[in-house]
């Protein structure tokens, strides 16, 4: 990782300080794999899969190579394929949409609410058509989606639900962890996520043994028996090294999430009268603050002001999927999605993560409070 330039006083994210803290444990885990000679589909993967499934309250966990693959293979395992339409949020990371295409189906965007940034059940209900096969709710920024109304809709219309939990490690919905609440849940262990590997990684958790078995086959060339290929699969495995490192980091997830939670509370108190729209947590939710996203029509000016004060910020996301060149020429590109367009202009992610010290956060807060649009 490149060091931030000296004028950055508060980095958006600081993986290095996170890894320094766990250096000895991570090194020991890596050496264990080096000495074992098992580098793929071995005991570390099984151990991590079982641990992760238990943490998120699902009977089965299957490690794959990335979050994108977890979404793609998860959809395929639920029977989504060519000719199907899958409803996706208009406001999300593009991978949610890409996975639908990789599964052979068509993503159909449903606009989110500007206020919450996530789906309203009524909008989803109105978008269900004869070809709709599945819903992909996204627990964006670490706040769980209100799943019960969506599960009700899915049951009435015989749709599969796969939730994208790439930003929601440890989040709970009505007291139950995200990860065992739908037909399948897709996870990413990209390094910057709340639980991140030292490279790419992902997983599918599910309570359905057949879905788990299908993902196991799909990730391994469509094979569960050596040299027998029952279907057209992929090569998408979570390797032993990443699995071993993830087991180390998993032991610190609650503590890291607690740090994020404390930082979110501090932001909330200190910025209550700042004129920004602040994120709110529903009373039925525990959010894990993957990102702390504020909203203002003066976003670009605020971002420049913060940069001038040495505060690094990011935008999640500046271009909505339907405006991406990759989707030019598809029906989605012509969709009317005003909330997604507006959020792309107004959202700003403040520094957030287990690395963020109070004195750094005070710098962010002072800089935000000194902003005059
Ligand atoms: C990170 C992310 C993904 C993709 O995960 P990768 O591991 O980077 O492939 C998918 N959806 C959302 C919402 C994400 O934040």
Q: What is the pLDDT of residue 5?
A: 46
pLDDT tens for residues 60-89?
999 999 999 999 999 999 999 999 999 999
CA of 40 to the centre of ligand 1 (A): 22
Which residue is it, tokens 């879905």? 211
CA of 2 to the centre of ligand 1 (A): 22
Residues 80, 185 within the same domain: yes
The residue nearest atom 7 of ligand 1, judged by CA position, is: 67
Q: Looking at the predicted structure, is the pLDDT value of residue 3 above 90?
A: no
Which residue is it, tokens 């803290």? 21
Percent of the chain beyond pLDDT 70?
98
Q: Which of residues 250, 271, 293 is at a domain's end?
A: 250
The first and second tokens of residue 349, run together, are 């992610």
Q: Decide: pTM greater than 0.95.
A: yes
Q: What is the pLDDT of residue 6?
A: 43
Three-state secondary structure call for residue 14: coil
Q: Are 65 and 202 in contact (CB under 8 A)?
A: yes
Q: Pinpoint the alpha helices (H) of 104-208.
A: 121-127, 147-157
Q: What is the mean pLDDT of residues 321-326?
A: 98
The backbone torsions φ and ψ at residue 56, rounded to the nearest 5 degrees and listed phi first, read: -95, 10
Q: Which of residues 225, 250, 275 is at a domain's end?
A: 250
Q: What is the pLDDT of residue 7?
A: 82
Give all strands of the β-sheet with 202-206 in edge-to-edge order. Answer: 60-64, 202-206, 184-188, 160-164, 132-135, 85-89, 106-110
Angle CA 110–116–121, to nearest 5: 45
Least confident of 37-41, 103-107, 132-136, 299-303: 37-41
CA of 136 to the centre of ligand 1 (A): 13
Residues 172, 306 within the same domain: no
Ligand 1 pocket test target in 13, 63, 66, 68 with most atoms within 8 Å of CB: 68
Residues 243, 269 within the same domain: no
- Alpha-carbon distances, residue 342 vs 102, 113, 193 (angstroms): 28, 10, 25
pLDDT tens for residues 127-178?
999 999 999 999 999 999 999 999 999 999 999 999 999 999 999 999 999 9
Residues 153, 182 within the same domain: yes
Q: What is the mean pLDDT of residues 345-355?
A: 97
Q: Looking at the predicted structure, is the pLDDT value of residue 1 above 90?
A: no
Find the helix packing angle between 240-250 and 43-55, rounded to 10°.
40
Residues 22, 155 within the same domain: yes
Residues 41, 78 within the same domain: yes
Residues 23, 128 within the same domain: yes
Residues 164, 245 within the same domain: yes
The residue nearest atom 6 of ligand 1, judged by CA position, is: 67
Query: What number of helices (H) and strands (E) belong to the chain?
Result: 13, 12
The first and second tokens of residue 266, run together, are 């501090």
Q: What is the mean pLDDT of residues 265-273?
A: 98
Q: What is the mean pLDDT of residues 302-326?
A: 97
As for ligand 1, residues whose beta carbon falls within 6 Å of it are: 66-68, 92-93, 95-96, 138, 164, 166-167, 188, 190, 200, 202
Q: Which region holds residue 41: left if phi is over 0, alpha if psi is between -120 and 50, else beta?
A: left
pLDDT tens for residues 211-241?
999 999 999 999 999 999 999 999 999 999 9
Q: What is the mean pLDDT of residues 17-34?
A: 95
Three-state secondary structure call for residue 210: helix
Residue 311 is classified by DSSP as: B
Domain extent at residue 337: 252-369
Q: Which of residues 223, 250, 277 is at a domain's end?
A: 250
CA proximity to 134, closest of 79, 177, 82: 79
Q: What is the pLDDT of residue 162?
A: 98
d(CA 262, CA 255): 11
Residues 160, 100 within the same domain: yes
Residues 216, 320 within the same domain: no
Rounded to the nearest integer, the mean pLDDT of the chain is 96
Residues 243, 261 within the same domain: no
CA of 231 to the centre of ligand 1 (A): 26
The total domain count for the chain is 2
């Amino acid at each position: 990782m490149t060091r931030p330039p000296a004028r950055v006083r508060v980095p958006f994210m600081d993986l290095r300080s996170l890894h320094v803290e766990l250096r000895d444990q991570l090194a020991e885990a890596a050496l264990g794999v080096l000495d074992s000679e098992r580098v793929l589909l071995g005991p570390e993967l099984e151990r991590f899969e079982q641990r992760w499934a238990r943490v998120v309250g699902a009977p089965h966990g299957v490690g794959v190579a990335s979050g994108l693959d977890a979404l793609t293979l998860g959809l395929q395992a639920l029977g989504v394929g060519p000719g199907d339409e899958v409803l996706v949020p208009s406001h999300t990371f593009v991978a949610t949409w890409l996975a639908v295409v990789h599964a052979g189906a068509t993503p159909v965007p449903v606009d989110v609410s500007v206020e919450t940034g996530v789906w309203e059940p009524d909008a989803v209900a109105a978008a269900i058509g004869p070809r709709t096969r599945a819903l992909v709710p996204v627990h964006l920024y670490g706040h769980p989606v209100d799943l019960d109304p969506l599960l009700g809709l899915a049951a009435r219309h015989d749709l599969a639900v796969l939730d994208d939990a790439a930003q929601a490690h440890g989040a709970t919905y009505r007291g139950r962890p995200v990860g065992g609440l739908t037909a399948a849940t897709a996870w990413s262990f990209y390094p910057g996520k709340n639980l991140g590997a030292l490279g790419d990684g992902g997983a599918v958790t599910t309570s359905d043994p057949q879905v788990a078995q299908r993902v196991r086959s799909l990730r391994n060339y469509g094979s569960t028996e050596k040299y027998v290929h029952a279907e057209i699969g992929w090569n998408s495995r979570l390797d032993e090294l990443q699995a071993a490192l993830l087991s180390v980091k998993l032991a610190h997830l609650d503590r890291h999430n607690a740090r994020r939670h404390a930082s979110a509370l501090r932001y909330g108190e200190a910025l209550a009268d700042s004129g920004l729209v602040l994120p709110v947590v529903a009373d039925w939710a525990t959010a894990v603050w993957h990102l702390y996203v504020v909203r203002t029509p003066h976003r670009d000016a605020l971002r420049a002001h913060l940069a001038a004060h040495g505060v690094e910020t990011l935008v999640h996301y500046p271009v909505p999927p339907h405006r991406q060149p990759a989707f030019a020429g598809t029906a989605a590109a012509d969709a009317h999605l005003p909330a997604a367009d507006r959020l792309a202009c107004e959202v700003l992610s403040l520094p957030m993560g287990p690395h963020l010290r109070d004195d750094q956060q005070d710098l962010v807060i002072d800089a935000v409070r000194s902003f005059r649009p």
